[in-house]
Amino acid sequence: MQPDISVQNVSKVYSGGFHALKEVNLDIQRGEIFALLGPNGAGKTTLISIICGIVNMSSGRVLAGGHDIVTDYRAARSKIGLVPQELNTDAFETVWDTVTFSRGLFGKAANPAHIEKVLRDLSLWDKRNNRIMALSGGMKRRVMIAKALSHEPQILFLDEPTAGVDVELRRDMWNMVRGLRDNGVTIILTTHYIEEAEEMADRIGVIRAGEIILVEDTDKLMAKLGKKELRLQLQAPLEQIPGALALEPLSLSGDGYELTYTFDAQQEQAGVARLLRQLGDHGIEFRDLQTRESSLEDIFVGLVHE
């Protein structure tokens, strides 16, 4: 099947010389939810901005809905809706007017029934005659989503949709995204939150320093990366792990002074208690212990050093 979005060898060098994207290749299938993860400055927003036509690419090619975004920009862009990261809204216009404006701008004839549905779905209907500047931050975020959905896009970009958003809106947004996916809309979201990607996405792509370093199905990735570690600093060094403990996921480092126990973050932590008991039974004493969860940052570092 032809991908809904096809990014081919896309590079971007900003005028200051900053190399934001390096030969990026990425295919996103019709109707999937794709999460793009990466630290700040990794190139997530640049990639989205290029696909949406806000930033010019230095080289490469992008197809959206089968249309080249440069030579056939009208057909490509009319399929795309974008909710940017920043809360960039008008101030003096009403919610209704600004959402209606967006629909027209994207070349669609007026359809008040559709606008009403979008506003109702996003709990904005009561605010339709309010000026945008009178709305709270969360409501403004909803307005930006309504604008992006006003022209019934086939592809929706959500750039950090839940940054600084309360629990209720986050839940609403997840429901909305699933509803859109069920209607065949392709969704690309960027996020810092790994649990959000895990909850929402069918596939996850990791971008770091302008390069896509991994694209994987979400469940596979989580199985691989959702790890927790317990590190024990021992009183006396061990030459090797005692035979009775050999079945445990343990490793020895730091000249035998550090014992690391790795376990699945999703599991209950009963294993930790059992391990500590067993260590006591073997007379292995420790002077300090730490636990840490593999963070997104660790995942990137791990991937880069692979």
Partner 1 sequence: MNVHGVRAIYKFEMARMWRTLMQSIASPVISTCLYFVVFGSAIGSRMGDINGVSYGAFIIPGLIMLSLLMQSISNASFGIYMPKFSGTIYEVLSAPVSYVEVVLGYVGAAATKSVILGLIILVTARLFVPYTILHPFWMFAFLVLTSVTFSLFGFIIGIWADGFEKLQIVPLMIVTPLVFLGGTFYSIDMLPAIWQTITLFNPVVYLISGFRWAFYGVSDVHVGISVGMTLFFLAACMVAIWWIFKTGYRLRS
Interacting residues toward partner 1 by CB under 8 A: 14-15, 52-56, 73-78, 80, 82, 84, 86, 88-93, 97, 100-110, 147
Using DSSP's 3-state secondary structure scheme, residue 284 falls into coil
How far apart (Å, rounded) are the C-alpha atoms in residues 137 and 256?
53
Indicate the DSSP class of residue 220: H
Residues ≥6 apart with Cβ < 8 Å to 28: 3, 4, 5, 6, 34, 186, 188
Indicate the DSSP class of residue 94: B
Closer by beta carbon to partner 1, 63 or else 221: 63
60: phi > 0 → left, psi -120 to 50 → alpha, else beta; which?
A: left
Closer by beta carbon to partner 1, 15 or else 129: 15
Nearest approach in angstroms of CB 256 to partner 1 is 54
Kindly report the length of the chain. 306
Closer by beta carbon to partner 1, 92 or else 268: 92
How far apart (Å, rounded) are the C-alpha atoms in residues 180 and 269?
37
Closer by beta carbon to partner 1, 110 or else 244: 110
How far apart (Å, rounded) are the C-alpha atoms in residues 127 and 134?
10
Give the Cβ contact number of residue 271 at 10 Å.
Answer: 16
Nearest approach in angstroms of CB 52 to partner 1 is 4
Closer by beta carbon to partner 1, 74 or else 305: 74
Closer by beta carbon to partner 1, 161 or else 234: 161
Q: Is the dihedral of CA 190, 196, 202, 206 positive or negative?
A: positive
Nearest approach in angstroms of CB 71 to partner 1 is 13
Nearest approach in angstroms of CB 144 to partner 1 is 9
6 backbone dihedrals φ, ψ, rounded to 5°? -130, 110
Nearest approach in angstroms of CB 177 to partner 1 is 20
How far apart (Å, rounded) are the C-alpha atoms in residues 220 and 232?
29
Nearest approach in angstroms of CB 292 to partner 1 is 38
Closer by beta carbon to partner 1, 9 or else 89: 89
Nearest approach in angstroms of CB 86 to partner 1 is 6
